[in-house]
Amino acid sequence: MLGLGCVKRYYFEKLREIWHLGDTEVCWDTNPGRPDLMEIESKTKKGLEKMIKLLNLENVPHDDFKEMDTYEEPFGIVIPGTVDLTFETTKKTLGPLVKKNKQIFNKLVDEQIKMFKLVKAGKKHTVEKTTKTVKKTTKKSSKKSSKKSSKK
C-alpha cells in the first residue's frame, strides 16, 4: 500500500468469530478495550428474523452504531482518529482516556489479553478445557471438604 502512495491511518487489532446458518451470518467481534459485539446479517429479512428468534433476541435493544461510540458509552473514551490499538497496548493507549468504569475497563482488557494470547498461540479450545478442569477440581475439593468436616 505504501508503494502505491497510501498513508497508513491507523492499525487496529480485532478478533472475529463467524457462524453461518443458511443465508444468515452471526459475527462476534472482540476489539481491544470494549465489550464484545454481535452482528447478525442475512440476505433475507426472513433469515434475519429466524436467527433473532433462535437466539432469543426479540426483546433485546439493537441499533446501528458508530464503531467509536462503543468506547464512549461504557468508558467515556474518545479515541483519537489515528491511534494504533492492539490488545497488548490497550491499557497504555486507552487507560489514560478512561473517564468512567475504570475497574470494569481494566478487568475487560485483562481478560481480552489472556484470550488473545490463547488464540494467537493456536489454543482456542484451552479456555473450554481450563473451565472443565476448574469444575472438576472444585468438585474434588468439595468432596475433600465434606470428608474433613465429617471426621470432626
Cell numbers representing residue 144 in the block? 475433600
Domain regions of the chain by residue span: 2-127
95 pLDDT higher than 70: yes
Per-residue pLDDT of 96-131, as tens digits, reads 999 999 999 999 999 999 999 988 888 655 444 444
Q: What's the pLDDT band for 152 if we cut at 50, 70, 90?
A: very low
Distance separating alpha carbons of residues 112 and 30, to the nearest angstrom: 8
Cβ-proximal residues to 43 (8 Å cutoff; 6+ apart), any chain: 23, 24
User: What pLDDT score does 71 carry?
Assistant: 87
Q: Give the H/E segment covering residue 147.
A: helix 126-151
- When comparing pLDDT for 123 and 28, which is higher? 28
C-alpha 119: how far from chain center: 12
Cβ-proximal residues to 99 (8 Å cutoff; 6+ apart), any chain: 75, 76, 77
- Say what percent of the chain tops pLDDT 90: 54
Phi, psi of 76 (to 5 degrees): 70, 20
How long is the chain?
A: 152
